[in-house]
Amino acid sequence: MTSLASAHVLVVGATGGLGSALSRHLADRGARLTLSSRSGDRLDVLAGELGDAVVGTHAADITFPDAPAEAVRVATGHGPLDGVVYAAGAVAFGPVTELDDDVLDALLLVDLVAPVRLARAAVPALADGGFLAHLSGVVAERPTAGMAAYCAAKAGLTAFGAALQHELRRRKVRVLDVRPPHTETGLAGRPIAGQAPRLGQGLAPDAVAARVVRAIEEGERELPAAAFG
């Protein structure tokens, strides 16, 4: 079991549809939060909502090479770090033959390279027994036509987390890979390229966030799509 009461957690992508829900649920469980996202204005709004649960904020574009390490440095300036949640993401739609290099680079940076860099920076700073959680999504289990690069990035993140878990076993630092089905975060409505296919009704971000936070508390190591019912 992992107690979140007074635990210090860095949330990257904190103002997104799922990141904000996760931040709220973490705060409800007593966590102290350092929040990071691209928009300083949205960070201010979320920090105002969460009040004393927020010990610091950091506005940055997580795709810059030094940004993940800087987020960790800012967080540790507010005290020892017990957990990290990576909830940033980008999506694109369309055949892979129509995917240009800029879109491909953006997808890989946000969905794979940045969380790997964040983990690399966070591991030395995390307390023994801490946790790293990231969102890979159902596409890591069930690759989908028209989303090949996105699926590859998310599957790569799942594989990275599994390997990292073995590296961290002696310190009992847990890596939680979260693979929810389609969730109504709004991400599909603002792709960096292409247009989303018709999607069925997705899960509510609040319900997904509640399940993720429960998994953190209960010591789970992965949340496959089936875990969301």
Q: Which residues, other chains included, contact 124 with Cβ-Cβ below 8 Å and sequence gap of 6+?
A: none
Map residue 142 onto helix, strand or coil. Answer: coil
Delineate the domains of the chain, giving CATH numbers in brackets. 8-224 (3.40.50.720)
Query: How far is the C-alpha of 5 from the C-alpha of 16, rounded, in Å?
Result: 24
**Residue at 119: amino acid letter:** A
- Confidence (pLDDT) at 24: 98
- The answer to whether residue 1 scores a pLDDT higher than 80 is no
Report CA 23 to chain centroid distance, whole Å: 11
CB 175 within 8 A of CB 130: no
Give the CB-side neighbour count of residue 117, counting CA atoms within 13 A.
18
Predicted TM-score (pTM) of the model is 0.96
Assign 11 a pLDDT band (cuts: 50, 70, 90): very high
pLDDT at 198: 83
Average pLDDT, the chain: 96
| Cβ pair 179, 225 in contact under 8 A | yes
CB-CB contact of 188 with 146 (8 Å): no
Q: Which residues pair with 34 in a beta bridge?
A: 10, 56
**Bridge partners for 175 per DSSP:** 132
CB hemisphere CA count around 157 (13 angstroms): 37
pLDDT above 80 for 224? yes
Structure-block tokens of residue 188 = 């599909």
Q: Is the pLDDT of residue 16 over 90?
A: yes
Res. 196: pLDDT tops 90: no
Q: What is the pLDDT of residues 139-154, one digit of tens each?
A: 999 999 999 999 999 9
- Residue 218 to residue 71: CA distance in whole angstroms: 26
- Is the pLDDT higher at 181 or at 229? 181
